[in-house]
Structure 1
Amino acid sequence: MRTYDLSPFWRSSIGFDRMLDLANDAMNDRDNYPLYDIERTGDDQYRISLALAGFTPDEITITAEQSKLTVEGRKADKGDHNFLFQGISMRPFRRVFNLADYVQVKNASFENGMLMIDLVREVPESMKPRRIEIGVAGNDNQQIEQKQVA
């Protein structure tokens, strides 16, 4: 596996710290438990699905912050088991998803061992692009004369 040194970018960039941290964290993410999918369900709608076989909704905690979504799970100890083989992992986990600006959690559901978290991106009206009319500087009569000539 290749490793990249991002330190030259930190020296020559101002205000991009979060983006570089995200890139660095993505390259160093070695933990692959629990397995998850991220899908686009609409123009500004997304769904994160986590495979959590053996867990119940009471053993899972979802926390939404400004730019992070954290899913944690801890299996309640239910006594001694004498496993001959244990293929279903019941270890505690913590999975953090970085969210873009204006992405909010709308719903979470748990069915058949799958945790599904629905997200939507809602950009405020003041932040959406808008068309700006261009006015002619100077005399209003000049603008009327130009319209009549054309």
Structure 2
Amino acid sequence: MRTNFDFTPYRRTTVGFDRLFEMLESGLLGEAADGYPPFDIVKEEEDRYRITLALAGFRPDEVEITARQDQLVIAGRKAERQDDDTYVYRGIATRSFERRFQLADFVEVRGADFENGLLSIHLQQVFPEEMKPRKIVINSHASAQGGGAPQLTSNRAA
């Protein structure tokens, strides 16, 4: 059961959240409701994350990872094979899938590992230098008479 919610009052009082409201209204946050393949998202450090997908039955060459500006797409395509086996029960899902993750601004994919049926994708949020906070030195009136221009000092963590 889906209920519609009117975001108009919030749109009037916020700036820069248009994409978030569009996602909420279109239902993209609930995308891939079937839950396949299952995944975990782990925050490893303040600016580092890891997404781990359980891909039993897949080989690394059957999985493709695509990173766009604001989206990470993981797709798996299982090659058709001819089995002479007669299965009584087939519980290991090997169906094709495509899982999408919306990435926040300045999140970059740093690498991926595939081990023991688990695909781990390493992400890091990297802010450009001009986006990092900086400390502004306040000049007194006396120092301004000396012809000194306003000074900016960097208070950034390395």
Matches within 5 A, 1:128-147: 128-137=132-141, 140=145
TM-score by length of 1: 0.83
Query: RMSD in angstroms over aligned alpha carbons?
Result: 2.1
Matches within 5 A, 1:88-99: 88-99=92-103
**Which structure's CA Rg is the greater one?**
1
What secondary structure sits across from 2:65 in the alignment?
Answer: strand
Matches within 5 A, 1:1-150: 3-6=2-5, 8-10=6-8, 13=11, 15-23=16-24, 24-27=27-30, 29-80=32-83, 81-137=85-141, 140=145
Runs of at least 5 residues in structure 2 that lack an aligned partner in the other structure? 147-158
- Counterpart AA for 1:98: Q
Q: Deviations over 1:38-61 (max 9, x none)?
A: 001111000000000000001000
Q: Give the percent of matched residue pairs that are identical in Structure 1 and Structure 2.
A: 44
What secondary structure sits across from 2:98 in the alignment?
Answer: strand
What secondary structure sits across from 1:54 in the alignment?
Answer: coil
- Counterpart AA for 1:121: Q
Runs of at least 5 residues in structure 1 that lack an aligned partner in the other structure? 142-150
Aligned length: 139
TM-score by length of 2: 0.79
Task: Give the 4+ runs in structure 1 shifted more than 4 A.
Answer: none
